Amino acid sequence: EPEVTQTPSHQVTQMGQEVILRCVPISNHLYFYWYRQILGQKVEFLVSFYNNEISEKSEIFDDQFSVERPDGSNFTLKIRSTKLEDSAMYFCAVGSHSSYEQYFGPGTRLTVT
Amino acid sequence: KNEVEQSPQNLTAQEGEFITINCSYSVGISALHWLQQHPGGGIVSLFMLSSGKKKHGRLIATINIQEKHSSLHITASHPRDSAVYICAVVGQGAQKLVFGQGTRLTINP
């Protein structure tokens, strides 16, 4: 199973600050996803990214969010001006075109104070 | 809109019991995933299936496409099986996962 790492594991930030969450897949997958899980709630889809562009995004993924692969390996999620309600666990996942398998990273716990 | 419902929401059992967790979904799918989430938060993939049945150790997953229903069974349950079990589906023509709310399983020794 391909390994996916995420950094940082935990980030505490003040409301209004920008945060960048990073995901690094070890293997060569083409599909990238960000999901989030607010404490006590179910996991929600944020955005999918394929061929260096967003392929789908949810209504949660508003103008405060952006994603990119700046160097062809790291996959980043940026939140421009964090709100209290952005506090959640953020999971990166990777997948391939030929299968519906998705492999999850360990998550980044974001706490906005 | 694709809804995924799991039952029960919480399940407590004694070690050794046979466990069943159910998942129902509302639209046609390409695949269904069973995932395990431990208290630390990490998500581990247990199964992906689009028809029939899969078995891995003491875990068995089944799916009935016509009835839009899947079950996850655990035989000879053990306290280390205690976790949240999540059903997630891939809608037809989609790639993203749509998640159920999870079933919190506690196995007492």
* C-beta of residue A17 within 8 angstroms of C-beta of residue A77: no
Q: pLDDT digit string (tens) for A6-37?
A: 999 999 999 999 999 999 987 777 899 999 99
Strands A108-112 vs A102-104: parallel, antiparallel or unpaired: unpaired
Residues 5 through 44 of chain B touching chain A, CB cutoff 8 Å: 30-31, 33, 35, 41-44
Q: pLDDT digit string (tens) for A36-93?
A: 999 999 999 999 998 889 999 999 999 999 999 877 778 999 999 999 999 999 999 9
Distance from CA of B43 to the nearest CA of A (A): 6
Q: How far apart are CA B38 and CA B83, in angstroms?
A: 5
| A107 at interface of B, judged by CB pairs closer than 8 A | yes
Distance from CA of A96 to the nearest CA of B (A): 10
Q: pLDDT digit string (tens) for B63-77?
A: 999 999 999 999 999
Q: Which residue has the tokens 């179910």?
A: A42
Residue A1, pLDDT > 70, answer no
* C-beta of residue B7 within 8 angstroms of C-beta of residue B101: no
